[in-house]
Structure 1
Amino acid sequence: MTALPLTLQRGACPALSAPMMTGDGLLARISLIEAISPEQLADICLLALKHGNGMVDISARGNLQVRGLSEISAPRLDADARAMNLPLREGLTVEVPPLAGMDDSEIADPRPLAEAIRDASRGITGLAPKMAVVVDGGGLLRLSDLLADIRLIAVGKHDWKLLLGGTEQSTHVFNVLRETLVVDTVIDLLKRLASLGNKARGRDLAHRLAVNEAAPHTPPSSSGLSRGSASVATVDPSQMLGTSPSMTAGKVAASPFDLFSLSNHLHAIGIGPAFGQAKAEHLIALCNEAVRLGIKSLKPALDHSLLFFGTEIACRELRDFADSNGFIISANDPRGHIAACSGSPACNSATIATHEIAAAAAAECADLLDGSFKLHVTGCPKGCAHPQPAALTLCGTANHVSLIAQGKAADEPFAFSSFADTNATLRRLADLVRSERRPSENSAACLARIGSDRLEAAATGRP
């Protein structure tokens, strides 16, 4: 059997055909572009038991990951998964919200544009491995907090705002386009990015573009969307390429862990494993219960969730089953407000058992974890679980745990903790926030106001 290429370098993405080496073996990612049935997810979990170590991740972007593969078993997983005829994503990552096309509150259905961009981009080579395009039509669940190189947001039924780099709140506004110009504009931007090399990202392109540059107009192409001579509605230059940091604002994003009423009397319930990782047999039990309740489809979704689609009664009963079996079923669950990587020993780079620290934090510091920010618990400074800045980060290093405020895992820490004292240190910080929080102030805003000096004093136990 032909050996699969291994993905080892930082900045690359594991794939079904290009697994990545981790501490517990190879990791393969199964990325889907459409819903699958509960039976299909159960079959994927059986493959995880057969070929891997039986651990399944759901990533922050809603990708399935099978862990513990070997160089012999990884190609077999690849072959068996492809034989299932799953709706696998191939090529450029183009994402839409998980409720797209079923959500009556959407401004516009993003799926046709996403498919047209996906098709038109197939011939472009040399893009960064993690290049991502988000097409967001608005609605109940949005992808605002996911990083994207190019982001399209519906501002009218046929008008789309185009942003470059970052999350929606920390991004660069480029233009507002009529729908007929969107695909050609995005493809032109992707080609520009490819010309800059395979390390160039949307933020790099944003910095290169002149503030007063209008969106490029390219000739009509053969993509699936109709073309026309609609004019481009350019944003005011004073607003273009502006940034707005989101992490200090304490904005609470919509959570997938809820019950959603959709079109055609359909409902969806969001369920997820703690810290994005579950044993295959636990997911199989959840899928079997969904089948018993008559639920026909599901989608892995943002924030390490699974969205199951069915009747309201079926969704409520599945939620109760999931709750009794340790899954996250509510936006108020403090475990859902922690971004924790796999940690040690699953990752070779990790120096701390992130899930143990996160579980203790959820149990002991629930009032700190109010949903206004993600507590980032990472095994190393790469910060894979939460690439954007966080109000508070615990980062494992060779000798201790670094504590970072309002930054990324690799940023300068305000204090250090021994491995053994990590959760006690976090409790001291939670106590400080509890005592200092003003009426109607959330934890993120309070942490930002307190500042690093006072956080350092609390962390180290100084008066």
Structure 2
Amino acid sequence: MTAPSLERKALDMRRGACPALSAPMMTGDGLLARIALIDAISPGQLAELCRLAQRHGNGILDISARGNLQARGLTEISAPMLDTEVRALNLPLREGLAVEVPPFAGLDETEIVDPRPVAEAIRQAARGIEGLAPKMCLVVDGHGRLRLSHLLADIRLVAVRSGENICWKLMLGGPETTGKICGVFDDADAIATAISLLQKLAAMGNKARGSDLANGLPVNADAQPSISPFGLFALSNGFHAIGLGPAFGQAKAENLIALCYEAERLGIKSLKPALDHSLLFFGTHEACKALATFAGRAGFITSSADPRGHIAACPGSPACTSATIATHAIASEAAAECADLLDGSFKLHVTGCPKGCAHPEPSALTLCGTADGISLIGRGKAAKPPFASISFANTSASLRRIADLVRIERREGENSAACLARLGTDRLAAAVTSGRP
């Protein structure tokens, strides 16, 4: 088999700027507008957003990997109307620079410190900085249970203990596992340093990212893996949260409205769109369990054991003009047929093109759509040269052969990601081409 050509126009290969509520982006099914929130909203407010998505778009909503809502299928006429009507709801909309905190900030007894005051101070101080990259992002993490360590960040502040003091480790670029350590600071110096770095990046131009300032800095060596947001969590003051999500981060408005109505009926007052395409509903233990039962029957992901939660799939064709494959159909078959492979140790990346928008970091295994079929990439990003190329018709069979090989070869105590890495791409390619594990 020969590797397909990955040559594309430079414009096609860029992941592009973030769509915004007031600056939607054209996709295959119309304009897409992002509704970014900085705090919780009520189930009734989410239901109203869904109704607006039906009225002005095609009624399909995404929940992004970073927990942003996206309304699809807008037109040049309807997009400004959506903007106006969403703003009239007086929601806690994010304006300007993305400064993100974990969804349980201030409610998590395990976190070292509530990160919200530092995040808000940075958000306010950065208002006058212009010329930053469109996707510039800061993370301020109190080092609690449900963290943002796997998400990319230009600048990341993570709470650490230094003797009896609480400080902030500042890192530049990438997820926490590969971020470069810039220093450890108290609150005031952490805020001042973050603002100084943003000013430097603005002076370098709107393509500069945090990693551009990281040359020569040491790599963070003690990052902890993230945990799944799906499932039941006990929080402070008797609160609980249930993490739910639509398969592959996309839902019909009517299904989300029904979920919101049930949440209201159960007495749940607030929710947050959150990391990994999830929705976190906050309420009593009984209400959260009851909502999970309702959501499971409606087809939502309700548990970290659901294999669909271990797949990163972009909208695919026809929703995206760059995509060449129906990613959600492939992902659904993979979840149904290869659940043993999807053990949570890695994200199976299914992408419609080499841009890899759904999972910008390397994955243990990626299926990438091309003009000629599907490329299989091991331990890399979607644009990396493949170890094998297959036809659309052979996708499920090829992935099953890889899953069977891992099942046969997995050592005691070894997870799927470690087994895939040990086997190497030559063994994986041989399994795919030979027709047997």
Structure 2 length normalisation: TM-score? 0.95
**Is residue 2:168 matched to residue 1:160?**
yes
Task: Say whether the 8 Å CA contact 2:272–2:280 is kept in structure 1.
Answer: yes
Select 1:15's aligned residue among 20, 25, 32: 20
Q: Is the 8 A contact 1:436 1:446 kept in 2?
A: yes
Which position in structure 2 is the counterpart of 1:427?
A: 400
Matched, 1:204 2:212: yes
Aligned runs of 1:342-353 on 2, under 5 Å?
342-353=315-326
What amino acid is the match of 1:206? Answer: A
Contact 1:145 1:253 in 2 (8 A): yes
Q: Given the alignment of the two structures, is residue 302 of structure 1 paired with residue 275 of structure 2, yes or no?
A: yes
Equivalent residues of 1:36, 1:299 under 8 A apart: yes
Alignment-mate amino acid for residue 351 of structure 1: T
Contact kept, 8 Å, 1:252 with 1:371, in 2: the verdict is no
**Deviation of residue 258 (structure 1)?**
1.6
User: Distance in 2 between the 1:323 and 1:292 partners?
Assistant: 17
Correspondence list, 1:72-151, <5 A: 72-151=77-156
CA distance in 2, matches of 1:329, 1:193: 40
* Deviations 1:34-89, CA, capped at 9 Å, x for gaps: 00000000000000100000000000000000000000000000000000001000
Q: Which residue in the other structure is 2:7 paired with?
A: none
Query: 1:361–1:423: 8 Å Cα contact kept in structure 2?
Result: yes
Q: 1:299 to 1:66 in 2, by over 3 A?
A: same
SS at 1:319 equivalent: helix
- 1:195 to 2:189 alignment: no
Q: 1:458 aligns with which of 421, 427, 431?
A: 431
Q: How far, CA to CA, are the matches of 2:15 and 2:106 in structure 1?
A: 35
Instruction: Name the TM-score, length of structure 1 as normaliser.
Output: 0.89
Deviation at 1:351, TM superposition (A): 0.2
Aligned residues: 422
Alpha-carbon distance between aligned partners in 1 of 2:349 and 2:376, rounded to the nearest angstrom = 10
Verify: 1:394 aligned to 2:367, yes or no.
yes
Q: How far apart are residue 19 of structure 1 and its match?
A: 0.3
Q: Judge conservation of contact 2:148–2:226 (CA < 8 Å) in 1.
A: no
SS at match of 1:123: coil
Q: What CA RMSD, in Å, does the superposition of the two structures yield over aligned residues?
A: 1.5
Counterpart Cα distance in 1 of 2:433 and 2:71? 39
* SS, match of residue 214 in structure 2: helix
Q: Is residue 149–residue 225 contact of structure 2 (8 Å, CA) maintained in 1?
A: no
Name the counterpart of 1:231: none
Give the 3-state SS of the residue equivalent to 1:158 in structure 2. Answer: strand
Aligned to 1:242: 219
Report the Cα offset of residue 195 of structure 1. 1.2
1: CA distance, partners of 2:222 / 2:159? 21
Offset of residue 357 of structure 1: 0.1
Provide Cα deviations, 1:155-202, integer angstroms capped at 9, x if missing partner. 025301000000000111111111121111000000111111111111
The residue that corresponds to 1:38 in the other structure is: 43
Contact 2:239 2:283 in 1 (8 A): yes
Alignment of 1:274-313 (within 5 A): 274-313=247-286
Distance in 1 (CA, whole Å) between partners of 2:79 and 2:219 is: 44
> For residue 227 of structure 1, what is the aligned residue in structure 2?
none
Uncovered stretches (5+) of structure 1, i.e. residues with no partner: 1-6, 212-239
Q: Deviations over 1:223-274 (max 9, x none)?
A: xxxxxxxxxxxxxxxxx4226699xxxx852111121111111111100000
User: Contact (CA 8 Å) 2:366, 2:382: kept in 1 or not?
Assistant: yes
2:3 maps to none
Residue 338 of structure 2 is aligned to residue 365 of structure 1 = yes
Pair 1:169-2:177 in alignment: yes
1:11 CA drift (Å)? 2.4
**Selected match of 1:53 from 35, 54, 58:** 58
> 2:230 maps to what in 1?
257
Three-state SS of the structure 2 residue aligned to 1:420 is helix
* Deviation per residue, 1:426-463 (Å, 9 max, x gap): 00110111111000000000000000111110111267
Query: Matched residues, percent identical?
Result: 70
The answer (yes or no) to whether the contact 2:15–2:357 under 8 Å persists in 1 is no
- Once the 2 structures are TM-superposed, how far is the Cα of residue 140 of structure 1 from its aligned partner? 1.4
Distance in structure 2 (CA, Å) of the matches to 1:462 and 1:431: 11
Whole-angstrom CA distance in 2 between matches of 1:461 and 1:149: 43
* Equivalent residues of 1:344, 1:353 under 8 A apart: yes
Matched with 2:6 is none
Amino acid at match of 1:44: L
The DSSP-based 3-state class of the residue aligned with 2:159 is strand
Q: Could you give the per-residue CA deviations for residues 374-411 of structure 1, whole angstroms, max 9, x where no partner exists?
A: 00000000000000000000000111100000000000
Closer/same/farther in 2, CA of residues 252 and 334 from structure 1, 3 Å limit? farther
Cα drift, residue 275 of structure 1:
0.2
Q: Counterpart of 1:268 in 2: which secondary structure? A: strand
1:451 partner SS: helix
Q: In the alignment, does 2:309 pair up with 1:336? A: yes
SS state of the match for residue 186, structure 1?
helix
Residue 338 of structure 1 aligns to which amino acid in structure 2?
A: I
* TM-aligned CA distance change 1:245 to 1:387, over 3 Å: farther
Q: Which amino acid aligns with 1:454?
A: R
Report if aligned partners of 2:377, 2:386 keep a CA contact under 8 Å in 1.
yes
How far apart in 1 are the matches of 2:97 and 2:232?
31
Q: Aligned ranges for residues 212-223 of structure 1 at < 5 Å?
A: none
Letter in 2 for 1:107: I
* Equivalent residue letter for 1:311: T
> Secondary structure at the residue paired with 1:289?
helix
- Aligned partners of 2:240 and 2:285 also within 8 Å: yes
2:377 pairs with one of 388, 400, 404: 404
One-letter amino acid of the counterpart of residue 357, structure 1: I
